[in-house]
Amino acid sequence: MTSPIRVTVLGPTGRLGSAICRALLDSPEFSLAGAVVRSESPACGVDIGSWLDREPIGCIGETALEHAVHEADIVIDASLPAMTVAAAERLASLGGPGLITGVTGFNRDQEARLAVCADKIPLLAAGNFSLGVAVTEALVRQAARLPATEWDIEVHETHHKRKADAPSGTAIMLARAAADARGERLEDIATWSREGTTGPRQSGSIGFAVSRGGSVVGEHAVRYLAELEEITISHRALDRAIFARGALEAIRWMTNNGEGRANGRYSMQDIVG
């Protein structure tokens, strides 16, 4: 039997992080090698198995990244942007292990710092771990090749009322895929929101519409609107379990049967091909 893939989790107490930890503990293919928490976290110094209402596993929530990763094959991050960037820079200075981040909401400076880290370690950034969303992104890219002069693109998203950032990282990722396919930079053509007397729609722009409420896990639709026809490419997450499942798929891909991956930046598109 091959030995389990040893994984360190950043942010194991959050909604995404705890789902990933549970999925890791449920599979003999993986073991939890470390867990990084804030010093103020109630899980600091606590066995993560017990924290998740499971048997103790001997993996304690700790603040020192170096210590939490020294036996890890890969690090997976479900924390928040400032922590992600600090961890990526630390891993880059240590020369590994590689990092998979599922975090969204990086600002431009944080994105640039992550790009520098990707020269020194393998770094997979997935604003959405769902394999269905990854396929949706590929379809969005394909449909965006329709002429921008005839087809207007609008991205709609709905999430639960606790979500802090808008538009969602996934909505931005889908819009960016469409902009890329049109040879544009999203920042140059995005209409992030509309209010009041907005005037006619600017040709070639990509618009966003955001809804928040209830417990919606995540809904995204990319609409292509022409004078005589419309296309909608949509994805609906029914259970947060899809994120943990995709995260495990990302871990398998990044560790690559023990071979690992070359330094560089990767995405879920590399996994769905």
Ligand X SMILES: NC(=O)c1ccc[n+]([C@@H]2O[C@H](COP(=O)([O-])OP(=O)(O)OC[C@H]3O[C@@H](n4cnc5c(N)ncnc54)[C@H](OP(=O)(O)O)[C@@H]3O)[C@@H](O)[C@H]2O)c1
Residues with catalytic annotation? 159, 163
User: Residue 146 or residue 210: which is nearer to ligand X going by CB?
Assistant: 210
- Tell me the residue nearest to ligand X as measured from the CB: 14
Q: Is the separation of the CB atoms in 123 and 111 below 8 Å?
A: no
Helix and strand element counts for the chain (H, E): 10, 12
Residues 91, 75 contacting (CB under 8 angstroms): yes
Measured from the CB atom, the residue of 92 and 103 that comes closer to ligand X is 103
Q: How far is the CB of 69 from ligand X (least distance, A)?
A: 14
Residue 6 C-beta: closest distance to ligand X, Å: 20
What is the closest distance, in whole angstroms, from the C-beta atom of residue 183 to ligand X in the complex? 27
Bridge partner residues of 76 (DSSP): 9, 100
Are 140 and 118 in contact, with CB atoms under 8 Å apart? no
Strands ordered across the beta sheet of 5-10: 61-62, 30-36, 5-10, 74-77, 98-101, 122-125, 264-266
Q: Which positions touch ligand X (CB under 6 A)?
A: 11, 13-17, 36-38, 41, 78-80, 83, 102-105, 126-129, 169, 243
Query: Which residues touch 18 (CB under 8 Å, ≥6 apart)?
Result: 12, 52
**Complex with ligand X: residue 153 or 247, whichever CB lies closer:** 247
CA gap 20, 11 in Å, rounded: 10
Q: Cβ 225 to ligand X, closest distance in Å?
A: 28
Shortest distance, position 92 Cβ to ligand X, whole Å: 18
**Residue among 148 and 175 whose Cβ is closer to ligand X:** 175
For 200, the 3-state DSSP assignment is: coil
Which lies closer to ligand X via its Cβ, residue 40 or residue 229? 40
Retrieve residue 76's tokens.
């997976």
